[in-house]
Structure 1
Amino acid sequence: MTKTAQTGASAPVSGPDRIPKPSQGWYRDKVTGQKYRRVTTILEQGCAKGDVLTIWAGNITAETAMAHLPQLVAASRVPERREEMTAWLKRAHLRKKDERADVGKAVHRVIEAKILGQPVPEELLANPELVPFLEHFHRFVEEWQVEFEASEMVVGSAQAGYAGTLDYLLRSPLLARKYELPESQLFMGDTKTGGELDVKGVYPEAALQMAAYRNAQVAWLRDGSRVPMPPTYSTGIVLHLRPEGYRVIPVFCGDDVFRAFLTIQANAEWSSGLSKKVIQPALALPTTSEERAV
């Protein structure tokens, strides 16, 4: 932040710099100084994942090992190579996670281009791994007559103390018709790229995330201005996007789900704060008879 030459005071932030940005699990409003806990951090700390992630990581490691079995067998005969390949195999699930993140970012860039009326970046169109995802994304937009209202918009609740970046807001006359709503109805939207089309790839945490965004009080536009969060329908839409096709998954994110999110937020505060202070160091026996008597 710059300093003014006359007073030495901090110059007020303006434009897009007014939009809070995530850092270490928090968003900070540069105008008011208020901090908001990041929604995804709340879900990571407060929502039990069970064995889902463990099973997923194990499956990815097993699939990677079988796909590279000759290399692993050859490396096992050389101690240095064995250690190197073992470390590489241990990171298989992290590499897969990064690949999925890259696909998600690419889709958001495509949506952003559509909203701004700009051409899709050439490097996305030239990436063979992204081509099938983007083709099916364009099919979704065309077949469901989708128009996007916003993308990658930061929203927050000062009352509940959280903020996050929603994927997009959309309108679709076909979706509206299914719920007997006006064609102008606004829906919360999200994209997931995990799993397979015939295997579960959309999880309940998506509903919690959407419910939090839906109940935010404020949204930051691209120019940095603050506006009230636009009202959206109590059912959001997850676009399950895969190389072999896509699915449109309705996700309920109404008031009951929001109350569950607030409970999980309290759990997150416990696990990241008070839980770290309740277990005290072990006690030692008093060293003198006087101390023991006391």
Structure 2
Amino acid sequence: MTNTVQAGASAPAAGPDRIPRPSQGWYRDPETGAKLRRVTTILGQGFPKPELVFWAANLTAADAFATLPTLVSASLRPAEREAAYDWLRKGHIRKKDERGDIGSAVHDLVEAHVLGEPLPEALLHDPEMAPYLENFLQFVADWEVVFEASEMTVGNFADGWAGKLDYLFRSRLIAAALRVPADTLFIGDTKTGGELDEKGVYPEAGLQMSAYRRAEVAWLRDGSKVPMPAVHSTGIVLHLRPEGYRPHPLLCGDDVYEAFLHVQQVAEFKRVLSKSVVGEALALPATVTERAA
């Protein structure tokens, strides 16, 4: 479904404007008007990530020691103190934005390759992107990967969510490693964070892929809507870094999807019900106050 997967009888071409687009945590189906919660928003609001607290604290400490003379000098000048404090406390935001920019750029490179389109000119000549592209192409060659969809929007109207999966693919070598039929269709995702020898692939990626696997429908690039093809209950996360790559199998079967639905409930609690759980502090009735006086 490069979108090229033939997933049953496809609907007549309706134009790309029929593909739901994300906006403020939602997808809206232009055809039906239905609002579907964005999968990444559900995971962001409903899945705890305690490791991010330690990551942010470590990053702040590293920034502080790296700029210690400047911070000490700023602390002696009230006019500079607030700006230095603000810079220090937002270090994790700067780093997250930087990683997000790299991740988005890598996804653009991967998508162009999968679709057989020219690589974006700005990225093609970016020396920072070159090793990512080289390692991605090495993964494709090493594992004989054949792609069948890229950046495809999928949704589940019954459970109320939608999202955009990275790609669907087949690989006889990955299938052999997992001891499944050679023509098995896998769902894949690319992660660019961390280091190859450290954490960079986390369990929530399995939750995300389990949702996409259980999509009811998928939208092709021409805007037509087709049934989501059957994919295996193990997905592949490609951990892609400048120093190399590693393909990680992640479970994304029905049991993992059940956990995703619980995460969705927590996210919905935080979005709606949590705002009315805590009431205003109670005050003693006026008669009791007067009696006490």
Give the TM-score band, short-chain normalised: 0.7 to 0.9
Q: TM-score, normalised by structure 1?
A: 0.87
Instruction: Determine the structure 2 residue equivalent to 1:239.
Output: 238
- SS of corresponding position for 1:261: helix
Q: Which residue of 2 aligns with 1:35?
A: 35
Q: Aligned letter for 1:171? A: R
State the shift of 1:78 in Å.
4.2
8 Å CA contact retained: 1:108, 1:151: no
Consecutive unaligned residues of structure 2, counting only runs of 5 or more, are 1-12
Q: How does 1:1-294 map to 2 (within 5 A)?
A: 14-49=14-49, 51-288=50-287
| CA offsets 1:18-42 (integer angstroms, 9 cap, x no match) | 1111111111101101111111111
Pairwise CA distance, 1:75: 4.2
Q: Is the CA contact 1:155–1:216 (under 8 Å) kept in the aligned structure 2?
A: yes
Residue 288 of structure 1: how far off its partner (Å): 4.6
Structure 1 residues 74 and 245 mapped into 2: Cα distance closer, same or farther (>3 Å)? farther
Q: Which has the higher contact order (CA 8 A, sep 6+)?
A: 2
Residue identity in the other structure for 2:198? V
Distance in 1 (alpha carbons) for counterparts of 2:141 and 2:84: 45
Aligned amino acid, residue 171 of structure 2: S
CA distance in 2, matches of 1:278, 1:249: 41
Counterpart Cα distance in 2 of 1:233 and 1:159? 21
Distance in 2, matches of 1:63 and 1:148, equals 41
| Shift in CA distance, 277/75, structure 1 to aligned 2, threshold 3 Å | closer
Residue 273 of structure 1 deviates from its aligned partner by 1.4
Give the partner amino acid of 1:190. D
- Contact 1:27-1:35 within 8 A present in 2 as well: yes
- Secondary structure at 1:189 match in 2: strand
Please say if residues 110 and 136 of structure 2, whose CA atoms lie closer than 8 Å, have aligned partners that are also in contact. Answer: no
Partners of 1:67 and 1:130 in 2: CA distance? 27
Give the match's secondary structure for 2:189: strand
Contact map agreement 2:115 2:150 (CA 8 A) in 1: no
Bigger Cα displacement from structure 2, 275-284 vs 101-110: 275-284
Give the counterpart letter for 1:17 in structure 2. Answer: D
Structure 2: how far apart are the matches of 1:155 and 1:46?
Answer: 20
CA distance in 1, matches of 2:285, 2:77: 56
RMSD (Å), alpha carbons: 2.1
How many Å separate the matches in 1 of 2:70 and 2:241? Answer: 29
Verify the 8 A CA contact 1:169 1:188 in the aligned structure 2. Answer: yes
Residues 253-280 of structure 1, C-alpha deviations (whole Å, 9 max, x = no match): 1111011111111122222212222322
Unmatched tracts of structure 1, length 5 or more: 1-12
Change over 3 Å in CA distance of 1:210–1:80 after alignment to 2:
same
TM-superposed CA distance for 1:70, in Å, is 4.8
Aligned residues between the structures: 277
C-alpha separation in 2, matches of 1:228 and 1:68 = 55
Identity %: 62
Amino acid at match of 1:23: S
